[in-house]
Structures are given as structure tokens and as C-alpha cells.
Amino acid sequence: MKSQNLTRPDSSPIGVFDSGFGGLTVQRVLLNELPEYDYLYLGDSARTPYGTRSADVVLQYTVEAVEWLFRAGCPLVVLACNTATSMALRTIQMQLLPSRWPDRRVLGVVRPSVEELAELEIGALPGITPPSNAAGTVGVLGTPGTIRSNMYQEELSLLAPSIRLVQQACPMWVPLVESGELEGPGTDFFIHRYLDPLFVGTGAPKPTKLLLGCTHYPLLLPGIKRAVPSYVSVLTQGSIVARRLKDWLDRHSNMEKRLSKSSTVRFVTTDNADWFSLNGSAFLGKNFQAEKVRLT
């Protein structure tokens, strides 16, 4: 990371968007795995959380954020937010881009995650035998908006209809993470509250793989791992998105050539910049200084 500021007027960074801090868990891996590119991270912290808002509002907020990133020079924007992806990506791709920004691209996090789930072999981890009814079942944890959208089920049904999907909304997890309550009895209570129902009883198949389908959730990973049976593999999205983005760029050389490559990253937020920088460092894994912007 050479610089916090993109001063070159010809810079064409990859835009990375989240409702707030969560996408920093994806940005962190992008900086490690694809370090050559310039990045512009936008966290709409003034309006977070998105996960409990209606589809119309999430669409409006996401469009405003994406258009801000386009105006800032990003040819490509990654929605590093499952809620924005689930509730806004299709409309953006099918309506906004063709009508107003035909030479720009917007990618989300749901499709790459579903591709990863579909590719992974469903079964036992080495040396550990899952319950016999567990094969072929995966789970996705997300915000109420993401789960309500049913986008994970729709995408998985298209790609791998034989895989059974269990979905669980975890409405208290984003507020816990936003408040810095990452460990402790209160947090464990809410972790168990949403996870236990997936693993009790003998009737329904149990997931052997659990995708954290919200970019805030990796900060709860230690507690989540403690709360699930040992045969369950817990997947986070940062490395999945980085790997699939690299594949996508390999297949879209025209876009890849348009992206500037000076290894810079700039962070902007719609809320207080010092507060965002201080609290965001846990998500990014290092300190940074953000700037405050207005989207409209």
C-alpha cells in the first residue's frame, strides 16, 4: 500500500463498496491477493445497516454509492456487501448500466460465493465423519435482507440444484460487530441463538459447510467456529471474492487493461472520517485514514 491518496487524475481504481465497515474484510484480502491495482473503498456508514431496510431503500442507496464511485473514476465496482448485492445488483446490471454507464461494470459477492460452494465437494473433512444425512447440504448466514431476497437459493438452484441450502438470518450480528462486541457471553448468546437451530434434531439434513454471507461476520469467526460441530467448515468471502475477481479479470482483458495499477488505496466514508478509520482498522487488519464524502 504505497499511499492513502489517489492524486493522479488518470487513476482508474477498482471501486469497493459496502454499507459500512464490512467490505473492509474483503478489501483486506484484495490488497493481499491483487496488490497491483488501485482501489477506492466507500463505506456508507452514515446509513448503515442496510440489512434491515426495504429493497427500495437499499437499491436507492446502492445506486447512489455506485454512481459516486463511477464519477470518481472507477471503471469497475465490486459490491462487497451481500445485502446490496442481493437487493440491488440485478437492477443495476440490467437497468442502470445499459441506460447510463454502458462502459462500466458492477460485480457482487453472491455469485462468486455460490460458485465456490457449488465447486466444493460436499462431504466429510479429512478424518472427521459427519452425520450420515449431512452430505449435500450447505448453509448461508446473512442479514434479514439478504436471506429475504432468496438470491443465494436462486443462484444455487441454477448452478447446482442437487445441493440443499439452509438459510439463516442473523439480525443481531451486524449491530454486535458495529458495536465492537466481538467476544463475551452476550455475543455467544446471539451466536448460538442463530446457529443452534441449524444443528438440532435428527430430521432435517445438517449443513457441512457454512458460508458467512455477510461481510461483517468474519469478525465473529472465533465464536462461530466454537458454536458449530467440528465437522462443519466455515467459509468467509474475502478469499473467495479475490480469487473469483482475478479469474474474471483474466477473462475480461478489456476491463483489466483499463484499471490503473499503482498499488494505491483510498478510503472514503459518509460518516465521521476519524471514527470510521479508528473502528475500521479491526476489519482491514491495519490502520488507515479515511476521508468523508457526500454521495449526492
- Is 216 near ligand DGL (CB under 6 A)? yes
Q: Which of 49, 139, 238, 280 binds ligand DGL (CB under 6 A)?
A: 49
Select the span of 48-56, 127-135, 251-259, 265-273 touching ligand DGL (CB under 6 A): 48-56
> Is residue 74 flagged as an active site residue?
no
CB of 51 closer than 8 Å to CB of 143: yes
Select the span of 45-53, 62-70, 202-210, 287-295 touching ligand DGL (CB under 6 A): 45-53
Marked catalytic residue, from 81, 163, 191, 240: 81
CA proximity to 28, closest of 296, 271, 236: 236
Task: Give start and end residues of each alpha helix (H) in the chain.
Answer: 24-33, 55-71, 82-91, 97-100, 110-119, 144-149, 151-159, 173-178, 185-199, 221-227, 237-251, 253-258, 273-284
Residue 31 cell numbers, joined: 490488497
Marked catalytic residue, from 165, 176, 214, 290: 214
Instruction: Give the shortest CB-16-to-ligand DGL separation in angstroms.
Output: 12
Q: What is the phi-psi region of residue 212: left when phi exceeds 0, alpha when psi lies from -120 to 50, beta otherwise?
A: beta
Q: Which of 11, 27, 146, 277 binds ligand DGL (CB under 6 A)?
A: 146
Per-residue string for binding with ligand DGL, 91-130, x by CB under 6 A?
A: ----------------------------------------
CA 185/CA 173 separation, integer angstroms:
14
CA 27/CA 78 separation, integer angstroms:
10
Instruction: Give the shortest CB-78-to-ligand DGL separation in angstroms.
Output: 12
Nearer to ligand DGL, 44 or 115 (CB): 44
| Amino acid sitting at position 37 | Y
- DSSP assignment of 46-65: GG---TTS-HHHHHHHHHHH
| Angle at CA of residue 88, ends 60 and 98, nearest 5° | 90
Nearer to ligand DGL, 24 or 134 (CB): 24
CA 202/CA 198 separation, integer angstroms:
11
> Is residue 81 flagged as an active site residue?
yes
CB of 77 closer than 8 Å to CB of 171: no
Instruction: Give the shortest CB-94-to-ligand DGL separation in angstroms.
Output: 21
CA 100/CA 270 separation, integer angstroms:
24
Any idea which residue has 468523508 for its cell? 292
Q: Which of 92, 134, 174, 290 binds ligand DGL (CB under 6 A)?
A: 174
Nearer to ligand DGL, 6 or 42 (CB): 42
Nearer to ligand DGL, 122 or 165 (CB): 165
Within residues 236-295, the interface with ligand DGL by CB under 6 A covers none
Q: Which of 22, 43, 223, 238 binds ligand DGL (CB under 6 A)?
A: 22
- Is 65 near ligand DGL (CB under 6 A)? no
Instruction: Give the shortest CB-7-to-ligand DGL separation in angstroms.
Output: 29
| Amino acid sitting at position 229 | P
Residues annotated as part of the active site: 81, 214
Residue ranges in contact with ligand DGL by CB under 6 A: 18-20, 22, 48-51, 81-83, 143, 146, 174, 214-216
